[in-house]
Amino acid sequence: MNRSGRSLLGAEKKKVIVLIAILLVSIVFGGIGHAKDVELIGAGATFPYPLYSKMFDVYNKESGVKVNYQAIGSGGGIRQLTNKTVDFGGSDAIMSDKDLAEASAPVLHIPTCAGAVVVTYNLSGNLKLRFTPDAIADIFLGKINKWNDRRISEINPGVKLPDMNVTVVHRSDGSGTTSIFSDYLSKVSKEWKEKVGGGTSLSWPTGLGGKGNPGVAGLVQQTPGSIGYVELIYALQNKMPYGMVKNKKGNFVTATLASTSKAADTNLPDDMKVSLTDTDAPEGYPISGFTWILVYKDQSYGDRTEEKPKELVKLLWWMTHEGQKYTEPLEYAPLSKKAVEKAEKLIKSITYKLSTVMK
């Protein structure tokens, strides 16, 4: 009980104000890191995320440059690059004309590796199935409802197919995997192209949706008689069966790292904006695709200094050369020699203020 009650309250108030001020100052100035360390930021596709994770970790140890990649999906990567909030984007899908118009400046598509999308199923009896493009399209269009339908049994002679309903499983979220799969189906089936089309998110005529590759794999593993599509890596790691697919040259090919790389062994355009689906390569797996790193051709946007473009170009060069040795252990298909040559030309064409970054 003392008369100075009010001044005590004032002293308390002062302490609180000082504390808040210290907090604010440390937040504002703590963010300013060492000005010398360059950090590159990227965002995009989830498919190559395990590979990029490893690559950027190794690159950091070797060069000291920190690369931060957020796997938010191909669409997110394209959006962030358009908003210029990241240095590079990652995408399993080629930027559409609409996306390029919104970006309003040329965007280079530099391939880093290739992947395959496999058709996996849940049937008892350890069956090894073969699929034709028409069969896959009809199944995913909802036109084939029973496993022992003639259209499946005639391509699989000698296999005892059960009288079960076919349950289609697709992706519920937007994905580059869906983009590759639907791009393939649009090429091989006119009906698919008209009814559904290609893209990262589709209006599926039938089936259940699973979230992410693990979601689809999980649903297929749990639902007897189901069929779905996942990245090759998921089928391998979850030991799920997947079918051989008939390619353009008429050969039934099993998806492997080798057949994925072979799918890329065709005429590649200079800008590398190529879809590998329905490949001409005789031993290539027909449902394959590149994944790309997207960068602006002209790096002198915003308030960028020459430092970041230099490091970016060095990173891209490393990823397409020394970094390629990390692809196969993680079950990704490395770039073929032809693809690397094209990538080199693209990287060399990156400019900063009217001169190329790579001298």
Partner 1 sequence: MNHSRAEVLVLEAKTETMRWRKPALSEPSFRRILSVAGAFVLLLLLAIFFSLIIASYPAIQSFGIRFLFGSTWDPVRSEFGAFPFVVGTLATSFFALVISVVFSIPISIFLGEYSARGTTATFIKSMLELLAGVPSVIYGFCGLFILTPLVRTLEMKIGVAPYGVGIFTASLVLSIMIIPYSASIGREVISLVPSDLKEAAFSLGATRFEVIRKVILPYAKSGIVAGILLSLGRALGETMAVTMVIGNSNFIPKGIFSPANTLASVIANEFTEATGSLYLASLIELGLVLFIVTTVINLIGKLIIRRMGVEG
Binding residues (CB under 8 A) for partner 1: these are 1, 3, 5-6, 9, 72-76, 78-79, 96, 98-99, 102, 165, 167, 172-175, 196-204, 207-211, 215, 218-219, 222-224
Q: Give the nearer residue to partner 1 in terms of CB position, either 185 or 268.
A: 185
Q: How far is the CB of 9 from partner 1 (least distance, A)?
A: 6
Report in angstroms how near the CB of residue 201 gets to partner 1 at its nearest: 4
Assigned token pair, 352 = 């900063």
Nearer to partner 1 among residue 109 and residue 314 (C-beta): 109
Minimum CB separation from partner 1 for residue 293, in Å?
17
Cα separation of 287 and 284, whole Å? 9
Q: Which is nearer to partner 1, 5 or 329 (CB)?
A: 5
Q: Which CB atom, from 214 or from 282, has the smaller least distance to partner 1?
A: 214
- Residue 218 C-beta: closest distance to partner 1, Å: 7
Show the tokens assigned to 258. 């080798």
Taking the least distance from each CB to partner 1, the nearer of 238 and 254 is 238
Report, in Å, the least distance between residue 223 CB and partner 1: 6
Rounded to a whole number of angstroms, the minimum distance from the CB of residue 31 to partner 1 is 25
SS (H, E, C) 192-224: HHHHCCCCCCCCCCCCEEECHHHHHHHHHHHCC
Buried b / exposed e over 170-184, threshold 16 CB at 10 Å, is bbbbbbbbbbbbbbb
Is the Cβ of residue 50 or residue 212 nearer to partner 1 in the bound state? 212
Closest to 315 measured CA to CA, from 62, 30, 16? 62
CB of 155 to partner 1, least distance (A): 25
The 10 Å CB-count burial string (b at 16+, else e) for 329-340 is eebbbbbbeebe
Q: In what order do the strands lie in the sheet with 66-70?
A: 66-70, 39-44, 88-91, 288-296, 107-121, 226-231, 167-171, 208-210
Do the beta carbons of residue 95 and residue 109 sit within 8 Å?
Answer: yes
Q: Quick one: how far is CA 221 from the chain centroid? A: 23
Measured from the CB atom, is 162 or 174 closer to partner 1?
Answer: 174
How many other CB atoms are there within 10 angstroms of residue 43's CB atom? 23
Cα distances from 331 to residues 30, 276, 328, in angstroms, run: 40, 18, 5
* Distance (Å, whole) CA 102 – CA 44: 17
